[in-house]
Structure 1
Amino acid sequence: MKELVSTVKSNYSAVELDVLKEVINIGGGHAATSLSQLIEKPVHMTVPVIEMMEYADVYEQIMPEEAVIKAVIIKMMGDAEGVFLFTVDQQVSETIVAMMLPENTPYSEDLANSALQELVNILVNSFLNAVMKLMDANLVTSVPIIIEDMFGAIMSSVYLEQSQYDDSIMIIKNEFYYLGDRLESSLYFVPKPGIIEKMLTALTV
């Protein structure tokens, strides 16, 4: 197993970002395939967006700070640490329930939350299984936790918990398409400081 040696770096070259994008794209493809097989309906993920962005710009370019959303949080532990954050517009919850469960299943808030948690559990673990093969790393996940709050409050708490204090932050974002329609949801990865450097070291050795 490759040792993940941490280095410190404030910015990344276009080549390094392309390497990360390719890894995430492969992992996202595995996740979408696993979900499609489970629900027996096509689910697609976009090519990931990876960019360095000023913290304030996140709310201008991605989602307003005051937008109320549901979020599912899964922590990644092991040879690398970070948090996966799946955010979804409130109106999309019913679509996800319909996607995950048999037809004509009555909607309820508890059912919607369970469906969201199961969806994210499948996506993240399928993704990590692919990444572990590429990195030769041991990674495990926590039980998914669901939160409903303003987008700004959720993002701030996750970044602070991961000791991310820089004005410039890395955004790793995938979007999902179900039966050709874009779901108003995104999967973010918020790493502990130094984890991206560890990933790049492992991938280029």
Structure 2
Amino acid sequence: MNKSLYSSLQLDVLKELANIGGGNAATAISQLVGKFVNMNVPTIDILDYNEIYEKIMAEDTEVVAVSMRVMGMESGNFLFVTTPKNAEILVRMMMPEGVQLSDELEYSAISELVNIVVTSYLNALSRMLDLSLISSVPALTVDMFGAILSYAYMESEQYDDQVMIIKNEFTYDGAKVESSLYFIPKPGVLDSLFKQIGV
């Protein structure tokens, strides 16, 4: 399937949910790090698996990725993806000035960032639809994009071809940092969500 099966209204609803979640995430991150951080959602898309490599990112691109599973009625897998350069900026955003960074600290900072973002999205959805959604502990990987995305599919044999891509744009200290959050749903999850929302 591809996004042509969904109406502009359905995609607008998803973007509004993402904007609410993004606003909540930015507030939570700002409070945590004691710095002003803004987060926008410039685009949201629903693509087939193969379209991602054609339109979003080549398979052989090295990335930093954090995955989180979602358990509940609307289950699937969130995959946060960014470049190593942008990951370094995000780590600096999360850490106090002057802190000596180590791999362990960097991984912890990025994982906590993704935990906040995913939890904010799930909370926005849960409040709207009165759902109970639980997420797993974040797991960070540095590898080629194709290998990471393929593994996310293989983690559960029943994941759908549809992938929802939320473009995240963080603004911090005058710089814009881009990343993408992929939601790989189990079959029928997106249709079920639209039905419950009423669009």
Q: 1:79 aligns with which of 73, 77, 101?
A: 73
Shift of 1:180: 3.3
For structure 2, list consecutive stretches of 5 or more residues without a partner in the other structure.
none
Partner of 2:56: 62
Partner of 2:41: 47
Q: Report if the CA contact (8 A) 1:45-1:174 is conserved.
A: no
Q: 2:12 aligns with which of 18, 21, 39?
A: 18
Deviations 1:134-156 (A, max 9, x none): 11100011011111111011112
Indicate yes or no: 2:155 matched with 1:153.
no
The residue matched to 2:143 in structure 1 has which SS?
Answer: strand
The residue matched to 2:87 in structure 1 has which SS?
Answer: helix
Shift of 1:165: 5.3
The residue matched to 1:57 in structure 2 has which SS?
Answer: helix
Task: Report the aligned-residue RMSD.
Answer: 2.2
C-alpha spacing 1:52/1:118, structure 2 compared with 1 (3 Å): closer
Shift of 1:130: 1.8
Indicate yes or no: 2:40 matched with 1:30.
no
Shift of 1:171: 2.9
* Seq. identity, %: 46
Indicate yes or no: 2:167 matched with 1:171.
no
The residue matched to 2:104 in structure 1 has which SS?
Answer: helix
Q: Report if the CA contact (8 A) 2:67-2:139 is conserved.
A: yes
Q: 2:85 aligns with which of 88, 91, 98?
A: 91
C-alpha spacing 1:64/1:46, structure 2 compared with 1 (3 Å): same
Partner of 1:194: 188
Partner of 1:5: none
The residue matched to 2:29 in structure 1 has which SS?
Answer: helix
Q: 1:112 aligns with which of 97, 106, 110?
A: 106
Shift of 1:39: 1.5
Shift of 1:113: 0.6
C-alpha spacing 1:12/1:69, structure 2 compared with 1 (3 Å): same
Deviations 1:72-94 (A, max 9, x none): 10111112101111112112333
Instruction: Give the TM-score taking structure 1 as reference length.
Output: 0.85
